[in-house]
Amino acid sequence: MSSERLVGRRREETPLRAAARHARIIKSGNMSLGVNLLASLVRKAAAALDADF
């Protein structure tokens, strides 16, 4: 995104950018889709790991 388009959203995104320095932030246009996809991928990864991992 160009900086001109971000000007109106900077105040809104500043807390996200600050938090992103300390943790992974996932932002999706449709957060429900993103969260459900992540949950599905975590289940698949957990199933692929050994029990003693």
pLDDT cut 90: percent of the chain above it: 25
Q: What is the pTM of this model?
A: 0.41
Amino acid identity at 39: A
Average confidence (pLDDT) over 13-32: 80
Q: How far apart are CA 45 and CA 38, in angstroms?
A: 10
Under the banding of pLDDT at 50, 70 and 90, the label for residue 2 is very low
Contact present, 46 and 53 (Cβ < 8 Å): no
Contact present, 24 and 31 (Cβ < 8 Å): no
Q: How far separated are the first and last CA of the chain, in Å rounded?
A: 40
pLDDT of 17 reads: 84
Q: Is the pLDDT of residue 5 over 60?
A: no
